Structure 1
Amino acid sequence: MTKPVSRTVRIRPQQFHETIGMEDWRVVGEGACAYFRTGSFAAGAQFVQAISEIPVVGDEHPDVDVRREGVIVRLITVTGDYYGLTEQHVELARHISGVARTLGLSADPSAVQTVQVTIDAIEGPGVMAFWRALLGYQDRANSGEDLIDPRRRGAPFYFQQMDAPRPERNRVHVDVWVPHDQAAARIAAALEAGGRLVNDADAPSNWVLADPEGNEACVGVAGPPVPATERT
């Protein structure tokens, strides 16, 4: 008997990636995303219309970004107490990929990424209050250190608690979340372009890089699949 899909059970990025049929999708910093090449705005609009007709969408409407070249689809649950993925997203992702294939559209997982701005703060609540008001952002669910755009358009802001000033390093940096299978290439490209590796202690989930003048940035991945030999 087939196990019914729960629409509320929360899942981790690794669970999403390990599910059959998720080849078009990559979990990055802000949910599960897929990029489908369309070649025209009209074809993209047709694709979005077809997505809207999927009966399993329910209350989990995907975020869709339509451009002439392609369409980005993002799956994420945003509630007062949760910001992440559920089993319903697995079902919805599978249907969206099926619609894309029916329309002759191909996915390019390497084109997916999300960007986050990180601010080091000693007085976190006061610093967050300023940026919350300035940006018109709101707190991420159950988090006292993240702000998100309520319209889910702008990059989220993360406030990293510091115990003491760190004047020798920049206090604002960019986190670039890329697909787990694109991190090595992205890091290599940044190093080739004049950057340097500052810290890889948290690899393979996070690397700290710096540009030629020492301004730092992080490359992060969400839930890379664990090789079968390492699973318990």
Structure 2
Amino acid sequence: MDCTGAGTTDLGADWRLVDGVATAWFDAPSLIEGAALAGRIAKLPTETVIDVRATGARVRLDSAEHAEAVSTAARDLGLAANPAVLQQLSVVFESADPPAVGRFWQRVLDYAPGQDGGLVDPLRRDPTAAARDLGAIPDPGLPRFAQLLLDAVDVGAVRAFWSAALGHTHDRRAGVTDIHDPRRLNPVLVFQQLDASETQRRRQRNRIHVELAVPSDIARERLATAVAAGGRLLDESADRWRIADPEGNEIVIAFG
């Protein structure tokens, strides 16, 4: 399967299609430089999602025609693009009654229906973007922290797989099993010890799976990394691979 080359056509070297959206990441030394880029982009006549982080900014455009203007603004500020780190993480619920399950999670998370039939945070709190110098006003009633928890009999093996597959970093605090996105764009994953004798609990697992959208030119490398970390390729189609971790939890790598 050839998955290289696609996703860069007509977008320029800084950009890739991630989950069908023109996306770029620009490294920045601090929030100040990232906020400066956000200020420049805000003046463009386009709908743009800008996620500012301590190490850079992710930009997602509704129209690729403004990609070069964004790249020019970044270069003017001395910021370099790093397309190799681009990805979009989603959680998919497997259910016999998707509308009922969707209504529950919509109420619990205070999310809104998305165009693809899923749920999205209308306030984009995960990830969140902050730029006080651009006039952002804090609202203490809105903050939240979302993380995903996975049960595992062999926490070390499962944690190693997900760290490799997602490109996440181990939390260095003693006594915790968290892994996090080094750019702080995706939810934290936490691994909980599961007793192997808890057969009923184990049967209830794997009713959700993670979908990871990546640029097509790095998809095969990400697949190889996941398999090398203990993953097992379950099936594949024209634009996605389904992989199981060492205990059967599933991730879908999508590209194109």
Query: When the two structures are superposed, what TM-score results if normalisation uses the length of structure 1?
Result: 0.69
Structure 2, unmatched stretches of 5+, are 128-202
Name the residue aligned to 1:37.
27
Deviation at 1:211, TM superposition (A): 0.6
Structure 1, unmatched stretches of 5+, are 1-13, 77-88, 156-166, 224-232
What letter corresponds to residue 214 of structure 1 in structure 2? G
Hey, what's the Cα distance between the residues in 2 that align with 1:94 and 1:219? 28
Name the residue aligned to 2:75.
101
Name the residue aligned to 1:8.
none
Deviation at 1:189, TM superposition (A): 1.0
Pick the aligned partner of 1:110 from 84, 88, 94. Answer: 84
- Identity across matched positions, percent: 38
Name the residue aligned to 1:190.
226
Summarize the Cα distance change of 1:16–1:186 in structure 2 as closer, same or farther, 3 Å threshold: closer
What letter corresponds to residue 219 of structure 1 in structure 2? I
Number of matched pairs: 177
Deviation at 1:30, TM superposition (A): 6.5
* 1:146 pairs with 2:107: no
Q: CA RMSD in A?
A: 2.3
Contact 2:7 2:215 in 1 (8 A): no
Query: When the two structures are superposed, what TM-score results if normalisation uses the length of structure 2?
Result: 0.63
Pick the aligned partner of 2:14 from 24, 38, 46. Answer: 24
Deviation at 1:171, TM superposition (A): 1.6
Pick the aligned partner of 2:99 from 118, 125, 149. Answer: 125
User: What SS is found at the alignment partner of 1:176?
Assistant: strand
Deviation at 1:169, TM superposition (A): 7.7
Report Cα offsets for 1:149-196 as digits up to 9, x if no partner.
Answer: 1123448xxxxxxxxxxx798220100111111111111111111111
Hey, what's the Cα distance between the residues in 1 that align with 2:229 and 2:7? 33
Contact 1:29 1:115 in 2 (8 A): no
Contact 1:16 1:90 in 2 (8 A): no
Name the residue aligned to 2:160.
none
Hey, what's the Cα distance between the residues in 1 that align with 2:28 and 2:228? 31
* 1:208 pairs with 2:242: yes
User: What SS is found at the alignment partner of 1:181?
Assistant: helix
Hey, what's the Cα distance between the residues in 2 that align with 1:169 and 1:146? 21
Deviation at 1:16, TM superposition (A): 7.2
Hey, what's the Cα distance between the residues in 1 that align with 2:86 and 2:31? 19
Hey, what's the Cα distance between the residues in 1 that align with 2:19 and 2:12? 17
